[in-house]
């Protein structure tokens, strides 16, 4: 009996000693834009008047370093789509993310939109890849900050899993930093959120194909 209890406790002890915080599960749901969305906590979000607001930032600081605070749409895996949405970052500085090709916890890509140009902060304003570990940039550094003001900005993101190509436009403009190719994930689900900040979303539209 003593041996059985000791062996049962081993995985818990190893996890604690590893220093790696567990990713909070997407245990709750909210409704916005005619879809159901999985979230860590429904109280972190507010859907009202056609607008979805992220009220609480939950930065994943390390081990692994990747975003966890996003609402994941309950859809089938999407292989080809266009996502359109108006976004507002937090002020005076801030950023937000559009998740795509989500497969499972820790396996997804995202477009990061920020007031900082990537040439100034290389982990901002670009396309990033998560494959079980830290996020890795997969787009060039050239291009201006996408969200220069704290007002509303119109965003369009186009993804094609067959080619692995993703491209985003903000207020009708794109740049090399908002374009990337990744063939490791393929079709997946989409999400809206932020790495370190709060953010707002409205006029969301998803076109499949």
Q: What pLDDT was estimated at residue 183?
A: 98
* pLDDT tens sequence across 142-196: 999 999 999 999 999 999 999 999 999 999 999 999 999 999 999 999 999 999 9
Asked whether residue 141 is domain-assigned, the answer is yes
Asked whether residue 3 is domain-assigned, the answer is no
Asked whether residue 123 is domain-assigned, the answer is yes
| Bridge-based pairing state of the strands 153-160 and 28-32 | unpaired
Counted domains in the chain: 1
CA–CA separation, 193 and 180 (whole Å): 20
Q: What pLDDT was estimated at residue 21?
A: 62
Q: Which residue stretches of the chain have pLDDT < 70?
A: 1-21
Asked whether residue 74 is domain-assigned, the answer is yes
Q: What pLDDT was estimated at residue 11?
A: 37
CA–CA separation, 181 and 81 (whole Å): 15
Q: What pLDDT was estimated at residue 19?
A: 54
Per-residue DSSP letter, 11: H
Q: Is 49 left (phi over 0), alpha (psi -120 to 50) or beta?
A: left
* Residue 93: domain span: 25-208
pTM of the entire predicted model: 0.90
Asked whether residue 20 is domain-assigned, the answer is no
Asked whether residue 4 is domain-assigned, the answer is no
Q: What pLDDT was estimated at residue 64?
A: 93
CA–CA separation, 155 and 1 (whole Å): 60
Asked whether residue 32 is domain-assigned, the answer is yes
Residue 142 is part of a domain; what is its CATH number?
A: 2.60.120.560
Q: What pLDDT was estimated at residue 63?
A: 86
Q: Which residues contact 91 (CB under 8 A, 6 or more apart)?
A: 150
Q: What pLDDT was estimated at residue 17?
A: 44
Asked whether residue 12 is domain-assigned, the answer is no
């Amino acid at each position: 009996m003593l041996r059985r209890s000791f062996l049962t406790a081993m995985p818990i002890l190893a996890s604690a000693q590893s220093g790696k915080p567990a990713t909070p599960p997407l245990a709750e749901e909210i409704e916005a834009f005619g879809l159901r969305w999985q979230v860590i906590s429904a109280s972190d979000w507010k859907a009202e008047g056609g607008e979805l607001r992220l009220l609480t930032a939950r930065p994943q600081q390390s081990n692994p370093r990747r975003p966890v605070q996003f609402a994941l749409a309950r859809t089938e895996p999407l292989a080809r789509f266009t996502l359109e949405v108006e976004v507002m970052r937090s002020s005076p500085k801030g950023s937000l993310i559009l998740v795509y090709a989500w497969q499972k916890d820790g396996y997804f890509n995202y477009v990061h939109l920020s007031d900082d140009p990537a040439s100034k902060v290389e982990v901002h304003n670009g396309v990033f890849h998560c494959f079980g570990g830290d996020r890795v940039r997969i787009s060039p550094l050239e291009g201006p900050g996408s969200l220069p003001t704290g007002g509303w900005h119109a965003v369009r993101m186009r993804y094609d899993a067959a080619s692995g190509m993703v491209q985003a436009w903000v207020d009708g403009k794109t740049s090399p930093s908002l374009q990337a190719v990744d063939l490791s994930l393929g079709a997946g689900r989409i999400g809206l959120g932020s790495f370190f900040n709060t953010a707002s979303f409205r006029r969301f539209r998803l076109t499949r194909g």
